Amino acid sequence: MSPTDDGRSRVLRRVQISSLATCVPPRVLTNADLERMVDTSNEWILQRTGVRERHIADDDVATSDLAAEAAQGAIEQAHLTPTDIEFLVVGTTTPDTFFPSTACLVQDKIGAKGAWGFDLGAACSGFTYSLTTAVQMVAAGAHDHALAIGADVMSRIINYEDRTTCVIFGDGAGAVVVSPAVDPALRVIDFAHEVDGSGGQALRMPAGGSRLPASHETVDQRLHYVHQDGAAVFKFAVRKTGEISRRILDRNRLQASDVDLFVSHQANRRIIMAAADQLGLPEEKVVINIDRFGNTTGATIPLALADALAAGRLKKGDLVLLASVGAGFTVGAVLLRWAY
Ligand code: UT7
């Protein structure tokens, strides 16, 4: 980084994802387990959501633990040391505590001395928003190496007596290191994000914040859990995943056929496939691993990227389209050429 006289670099640099690592807790909750807990069936869950099993954190494991493990993996893979990380952002809906932020806890756990960072609240768009934020920090020349993390322990805010939500979610974390691009062609190309707060009631945790602080009543009424209008979220997610993907492709003069890999937030297999159909993307270009992890909120996209890499479906130079829709509503897309 070479700052100008006033100490600020004004040249936007090209930025790449240099590494990726994930972490899921070992314990697995299967559909058969859920059949014993609520009135549901493996067939219903598989057919309506695509989930077979999800990973669930033990009681003594919190979001920062999973996030720190993923972050350490990403730093090692990038051949960096923790003190090379100057900035970190954690997209999470389930921070360890309101404060300190999970970013502070992760910074300390991984030994990123001198770094700064914060948590970012964008629910299931936590990773696309965090990635864009970290990319902008590096592009602006403010920092050379940044960590974008998506991490959630959703099981802490799920009511395991509510069959409409407990079958969907799981726990996990993913982290990427972003750095100045080595090859300018292999970079994060563009991002598109929007929020639509008018949909806020459709997916929320009603209590625990300043609107409705924790009390005996809020606990008795189970207001510290995820509440959702599944059908409303489903319709919005299908429409906006398609729309934002189309928008980012159009403005970069790209066709859906140019995309090598479509990595959408994993909320429901049917949402992903409906959005892919709208875009005209064949199944072989779509990553789906919701069957093994469920909806891990901030972690779904890095978990899906990691699976694609491991399966040899993601290669250097591939055009990758990330897309997400989450509570808020939040909507995001990131377009990039994979750099390694
Ligand atoms: O990242 C964002 C997070 N959230 C989402 O993405 C959620 C988006 N929405 C969805 O994925 C789907 O709407 C759900 C999976 C939540 C629900 O699927 P659906 O096809 O929209 O089902 P539905 O809510 O219309 O319910 C159909 C029936 C209902 O019974 P009745 O009223 O028809 O008798 C539900 O009570 O299925 C029932 N049902 C279940 N049955 C067995 C709901 N959950 C279950 C269940 N097992 N787990």
Which of 288-293's residues contact partners 24+ apart within 8 Å by CB, and which partners? Answer: 288/50, 290/49, 290/50, 290/51, 290/266, 291/46, 291/50, 291/51, 291/52, 291/53, 292/52, 292/53, 292/54, 293/24, 293/54, 293/55, 293/170, 293/172, 293/266
Protein residue closest via CA to atom 18 of ligand 1: 48
Residue 151 shares a structural domain with residue 29: yes
Residue 174 shares a structural domain with residue 201: no
What is the pairing mode between strands 116-120 and 87-91? parallel
Q: Identity (one letter) of the amino acid at 122?
A: A
- pTM listed for this prediction: 0.96
Residue 267 shares a structural domain with residue 167: no
Pocket test of ligand 1: the residue of 40, 51, 164 to mutate, having most ligand atoms within 8 Å of its CB, is 164
Residue 169 shares a structural domain with residue 296: no
- Is 287:275 a contact under the CB 8 Å cutoff? no
Residue 153 shares a structural domain with residue 212: no
Residue-level pLDDT at 306: 98
Residue 210 shares a structural domain with residue 166: no
**CATH number of domain containing 327:** 3.40.47.10
Residue 175 shares a structural domain with residue 243: no
Residue-level pLDDT at 4: 47
Domain stops at, among 180, 204, 229: 180
Residue 195 shares a structural domain with residue 91: no
Calculate how far, in angstroms, residue 230's C-alpha sits from the geometric centre of ligand 1: 6
Domain region containing 315 = 188-337
Q: How far is CA 160 from the centre of its chain?
A: 23
Residue 72 shares a structural domain with residue 202: no
CA gap 24, 55 in Å, rounded: 6
Each residue's pLDDT, cut to its tens digit, for the chain (340 residues) gives: 444 455 555 558 999 999 999 999 999 999 999 999 999 999 999 999 999 999 999 999 999 999 999 999 999 999 999 999 999 999 999 999 999 999 999 999 999 999 999 999 999 999 999 999 999 999 999 999 999 999 999 999 999 999 999 999 999 999 999 999 999 999 999 999 999 999 999 999 999 999 999 999 999 999 999 999 999 999 999 999 999 999 999 999 999 999 999 999 999 999 999 999 999 999 999 999 999 999 999 999 999 999 999 999 999 999 999 999 999 999 999 999 999 9
Which of 31, 143, 265, 289 is flagged as catalytic?
265
Protein residue closest via CA to atom 16 of ligand 1: 230
Residue 129 shares a structural domain with residue 16: yes
Residue 267 in contact with ligand 1 by CB distance below 6 A:
yes
Domain stops at, among 145, 180, 215: 180
Residue 259 shares a structural domain with residue 176: no
**Number of domains into which the chain is organized:** 2
Q: Identity (one letter) of the amino acid at 117?
A: G
Residue 92 shares a structural domain with residue 158: yes
Six token digits for residue 296 = 């891990």
- Is 135:191 a contact under the CB 8 Å cutoff? yes
Domain stops at, among 180, 197, 215: 180
Residue-level pLDDT at 285: 98
Residue-level pLDDT at 12: 87
